[in-house]
A = this chain, B = another copy of it.
Amino acid sequence: MTKIPVAILGATGIVGQRFVQLLQNHPWFEITALVASERSAGRTYREACNWVLEGDPPDELLDQIVQPLKPDLPARLVFSALPSPIAREAEPLFAEAGYAVCSNASAFRKDPDVPVIIPEVNGDHIKMVEWQTAKRGWKGLIVTSPNCTTTGAVMPLKPLDQAFNITRFFATSIQAISGAGYPGLAFIDMSDNLIPYINGEEEKIETESLLLLGKVTAQERIPASMKISAQANRGPIQHGHTVCLSIEFEKKPSVEEAIEVLKNYRGPEIAWDLPSAPPRPIIVRSEPDRPQPRRDRDTQNGMVATVGRVRPCPIFDLKLVSVIHNAIRGAAGGSVLNAELLVSGGYIS
């Protein structure tokens, strides 16, 4: 199969760099354009990019000329790592011009005709793009991936909701630094410290979870209706968000039943054989002190949610802890998986 040419919008930033890293040797996609702001456009990627991830950028991209943010790229699909205010303006221009936009930005997540997708959770929402293109008259489309912490919460919540109907949940997160972009927080502020606040994060968890756990009918997306309360904290951790969940169900599962459901979950069939998908989206650990961000974030190339401490809750029904790699599954990797879903579903030819 000839690879699909793809572009990265915001290719010099920290999420853009992750896209570059994850798309190296991808079986279906090939990077043909690196796009960044005016300041960087026209320079080589080597010059324009202050690479902050481990290792070095791929040799073959070093001399590519960074392109300006205009919808005339030699690509069929674009990954957007743009800041939300810029995404809000640019992404529709790309969709209109015929590109499939897989966005990591929050700009359009709440629009009623823009799907926010984790393939194993709600891959079937992909059909929303049919209304989207019909309504907006676009030749292309926009698909978004959710906020990183929401991803870490919703991956284990989905199978539990499907099996036992969640009525309410509390989510308290301890989030890694790389989720704050680059340069993000200063060492002097974050070291030996915890910051009990992340701008907009709690609201994102409380609203995006409902979209992801909702249903899509022929004509509309019906958000789920459980009640959610979130508390978001930033901690001195490089990568890996932890979410502590307390969950109330309509049908009360035992701890063992919950673990079985989590372990065996595969998600909608449409998401089963995507190249970046792990064999099972959720790994359940039985040690009392797992999951831990440093030890579990890289499992299965950072694409799973690792869950542990499933136990009864004295107020609700169950408590558990989930860890995901915020920069991979919770950001660039999630969008790559969405792109694979688009291809697999025939939305990109």
Query: Hey, which bits of chain A sit against chain B, CB under 8 A?
Result: 14, 52, 54-55, 168, 170, 172, 174, 177-178, 182-197, 199, 206, 227-229, 231, 233, 235-238, 240, 242, 244, 246, 288-295, 298-299, 308-309, 313-316, 319, 321
Contact = CB atoms under 8 A, between A and B. Distances in A.
Given A191-B191, A196-B291, A244-B231, A55 B298 contact: yes
B182 A188 contact: yes
B194 A242 contact: yes
Nearest to A174: B194
28 contacts: A14-B188, A52-B188, A168-B315, A170-B170, A170-B246, A172-B172, A174-B174, A177-B188, A184-B188, A185-B186, A187-B191, A187-B236, A188-B238, A191-B238, A192-B237, A193-B292, A194-B242, A196-B289, A196-B309, A196-B321, A197-B309, A206-B314, A228-B315, A229-B246, A229-B315, A231-B244, A231-B321, A235-B235
Given A52-B188, A192-B294, A246-B170, A229 B316 contact: yes
Copies in the complex: 4
Given A192-B293, A196-B290, A229-B314, 7 more contacts: A174-B235, A192-B237, A197-B289, A227-B315, A231-B246, A235-B235, A235-B236
Given A227-B315, A236-B236, A315-B227, A292 B170 contact: no
Contacts of A195: 289, 292
Given A184-B186, A190-B187, A246-B231, A315 B170 contact: yes
Contacts of A174: 174, 194, 233, 235
A184 to B, nearest CB: 6
Contact of A313 (B184, B197, B229, B237): B229
A292 B242 contact: no
A160 to B, nearest CB: 17
Looking at A185, A242, A291, the one whose CB has the most chain B CB atoms below 10 A away is A242
A192 B238 contact: yes
A319 B233 CA distance: 13
Nearest to A198: B289
A15 to B, nearest CB: 13
A49 to B, nearest CB: 13
Contacts of A313: 229
Looking at A197, A206, A228, the one whose CB has the most chain B CB atoms below 10 A away is A197
Given A186-B183, A294-B193, A233 B242 contact: yes
A262 B193 CA distance: 24
A348 to B, nearest CB: 34
B52 A196 contact: no
Looking at A54, A187, A206, the one whose CB has the most chain B CB atoms below 10 A away is A187
B194 A292 contact: yes
B319 A288 contact: no
B186 A244 contact: no
A229 B288 CA distance: 17
